[in-house]
Amino acid sequence: MTYNSGITPKVTPEITPTVEELEAQERRLVFREFTADDAWRLGTLLVEMARERQAPVAVDIHRAGQQLFHAALPGATPDNDAWIARKRRVVERYHSSSYLVGARSRAKGTTFEDSSRLDPDVYAAHGGSFPLTVEGVGVIGAVTVSGLPQLEDHRFVVQALEEFLNKG
C-alpha cells in the first residue's frame, strides 16, 4: 500500500547559467598546450566519469580537423555520433561552446536555427561541445559529449576540463 500525504513535493527549477557565466568558463578553461597525449588523458577522464555515473554517452575530441579520441559507452547510439558532429561544427565555426552559442540566441529572443540560418542537420547549438583553447593560439579543437540533456552534457564537459586543468 502506498501512502500519499496529498502534498506535492516542491520541485526547484534547474538554474540555467547566464551568457556571462558561460563566457567566464571559456576564459578560465584554457590550456598552455594541447597534445595528442592530452587528448588521450582528457578522453580517458571523461570515460571514467561517465562510467562512474553510468552515463550513456559518446565522447569525442578533435584537434585541427583530426579526431584524437572517441569512445561510446553502453547506452550510446549512432545518433550520439551525429549530435557530436553537429555540436562540434558549431564550436569550430563560432569558437565558443555549443551551449553558449545557443544561449546567446535565446538571450536575443530567438533560436540558433532562426538566427544563424544554418542547416540544422549540419549544425546544432545544443550543449556538450566545448572549445579547446590554447594560450596565445586560440581555439584549436573541441571536446564533445552527447547522450544527456544538453545542459548536463555541457556541465559534464566543463567539470572534466576543470578537473583536468587543475591537475596540471
Q: What is the pLDDT of residue 146?
A: 98
Q: Identify the pLDDT of residue 168.
A: 61
| Residue-wise pLDDT tens digits, 47-62 | 999 999 999 999 999 9
Half-sphere exposure of 104 (CA within 13 A, CB side): 15
- Residue 30 pLDDT: 98
**Which pLDDT value is given to residue 13?**
53
For residue 156, give the nearest of 144, 141, 142 by alpha carbon. Answer: 144
Ranges of the chain whose pLDDT falls below 50? 1-12
The pTM of this model reads 0.90
Q: Cβ-count burial of 92 within 10 angstroms (0-12 exposed, 13-18 middle, 19+ buried)?
A: middle
pLDDT confidence of residue 43: 98
- The 10s digit of each residue's pLDDT in 109-131 is 999 999 999 999 999 999 999 99
CATH of 19-167, one of 3.20.20.150, 3.30.450.150, 3.10.25.10, 3.50.50.60: 3.30.450.150
Q: Where are the domains of the chain?
A: 19-167
